[in-house]
Amino acid sequence: MSAGLQTATDARTGKGQHDENFPVASHLIHPRNRGAILAFYNYVRAGDDVADHAGLSPERKIEMLDALADALTGKGGTDPSVEPLRRELDARGLPPTHALELLDAFRMDARKSRYADWDELIHYCRYSAMPVGRFVLDVHGEDPSRVWASSDAICAALQVLNHLQDCGKDFRTLDRVYIPAETLARHGATVEMLGAERASPELRAVFRELAERTLALLDDGKGLPGLIDDLRLSLEIAAIHRLAVVLTRGLLERDPLSEKVHHGKAAFALTALGGVLSTLVRRPFRSRAGAAQ
């Protein structure tokens, strides 16, 4: 099945930014920065598709991810998903660090399918999610010392939320379980319960605990929009944060094995708009040149 897969592009699933659970460089982002974010997304998407490819051995996945890294850093090889990001990084004088850290997360996915406890899961999020927020902030010229910590909390929350929403599918199709074994055991639940059509009471208790911990992360990051100089980015993050809070609260009651957690497009847009408007009302005047552009 995998014999014809020579590069990461060959492993692409066709999934794009419009298929993600949260906006990727929506039109709130200034056009001068959207290209860099989309180039980053497409590079990362290529690596993610390699890590999730059912026809590739773990060893072959690592080889292909290493080739993606080498192409980005100029050590050898090339891939259609690489060149746009290389151009954006060169034009902005940015290092490839964040993209390479995401490849580390995909290497973890190739080798690892279970997580012992919450700390181990957050360690995974450090490489699978936090670099995304850091890259977007760096592209906008924001001060890392002021914004990275809050961004890290939000990005980790988004990652855990996605894991909870997709826990049944991940188990059935990839035999991958991000829900910590310690949390399952505490509530008398088992990994095998994730394969059921409906969550057991024990598994529902697991979902509620992890949703509460995710809400705590979102609370840690709630001040981020007010720390960002770029107004448009501030509004984008406010919308995403509001969506994440609403969806995570839903997991306190909803069963992701049998119920759709995400809202329809209209409700999704209204929720995001609420985040945008509340930020506009609270946001202090910014004197930095270009902040409102």
Query: What CATH number is associated with residue 152?
Result: 1.10.600.10
Residue 78, pLDDT score: 78
Q: What angle do CA 176, 255, 20 make, to 5 degrees?
A: 60
Residue where a domain stops, chosen among 85, 112, 139: 112
pLDDT of 282 higher than 80: no
Estimate to the nearest angstrom the gap between the alpha carbon of 264 and the chain centroid: 20
Among 90-99, 111-120, 195-204, 252-261, whose mean pLDDT is lowest? 252-261
Residue where a domain stops, chosen among 86, 112, 138: 112
In a domain, 264, yes or no: yes
* Residue carrying the six token digits 């035999």: 175
Residue 7, pLDDT score: 56
Tell me what the mean pLDDT of segment 230-242 comes to.
Answer: 90
Residue 239, pLDDT score: 86
Residue 19, pLDDT score: 45
Residue where a domain stops, chosen among 78, 112, 146: 112
User: What's the domain range around 48?
Assistant: 30-112
Tell me what the mean pLDDT of segment 207-223 comes to.
Answer: 97
- Provide φ and ψ at 177, rounded to 5°: -130, 115
Residue 16, pLDDT score: 47
* Pairwise CA distance, residues 207 & 165, whole Å: 10
Q: How many other CB atoms are there within 10 angstroms of residue 78's CB atom?
A: 14
What is the percent of the chain with per-residue pLDDT over 90, rounded to a whole number? 71
Q: What is the mean pLDDT of the chain?
A: 86
**Of 148, 136, 159, 142, nearest in space to 28 by CA:** 136
Q: How confident is the model at residue 268 (pLDDT cuts 50, 70, 90)?
A: very low
Give the residue ranges of DSSP H helices in 14-143. Answer: 31-52, 58-73, 83-92, 97-111, 118-128, 130-139
Residues 127 and 144 in one domain: yes
* Pairwise CA distance, residues 273 & 233, whole Å: 14
In a domain, 43, yes or no: yes
pLDDT of 18 higher than 80: no
Q: Which two tokens stand for residue 176?
A: 């991958």
Q: How confident is the model at residue 81 (pLDDT cuts 50, 70, 90)?
A: confident
Domains in the chain: how many in total? 2
Residues 70 and 137 in one domain: no
The DSSP H or E segment spanning 233 is: helix 231-250
* Pairwise CA distance, residues 12 & 86, whole Å: 19
Residues 69 and 197 in one domain: no
Residue 263, pLDDT score: 53
Residues 153 and 168 in one domain: yes
pLDDT in tens, 159-212: 999 999 999 999 999 999 999 999 999 999 999 999 999 999 999 999 999 999
In a domain, 24, yes or no: no
Residues 220 and 233 in one domain: yes
Reported pTM: 0.85
